[in-house]
Amino acid sequence: MTSTDFTYPQPTDDELAAQQPRHPAPNAPLIYSSPGAGLDHYEQAPHPANIPAPGAVSAASGGTSADGFVHGARPRSAGPDPADATNSPALGRTAMVLSLVAGVLSVVASVILGATVGPSEAASGYYFTDTPDWYQSLAAALVGLQALCTGLGVTAVILGIVAAVTARGRTFGIIAISAAVIAPFVSFGTFIALSFAFA
- pLDDT at residue 49 in the model: 57
Q: List the domain boundaries for the chain.
A: 106-151+177-197
pLDDT at 166: 92
pLDDT at 79: 52
30 DSSP β-pair partners = 44
What angle, 0 to 180 degrees and rounded to 10, lies between the N-to-C axes of helices 170-197 and 133-165? 160
* CA-based torsion, 25, 28, 30, 33: positive or negative: positive
pLDDT tens series, the chain, 199 aa:
555 555 666 777 777 777 776 655 555 555 444 454 444 444 455 555 555 555 554 444 455 554 544 455 454 555 555 554 567 889 999 999 999 999 999 999 999 988 888 777 767 766 666 778 888 888 889 999 999 999 999 999 999 999 999 999 999 999 999 999 999 999 999 999 988 887 6
Res 124: pLDDT: 73
| Number of separate helices (H) and strands (E) present in the chain | 5, 2
Q: What is the pLDDT of residue 104?
A: 95
- The Cα 118–Cα 61 span in angstroms is 83
Per-residue pLDDT at 40? 46
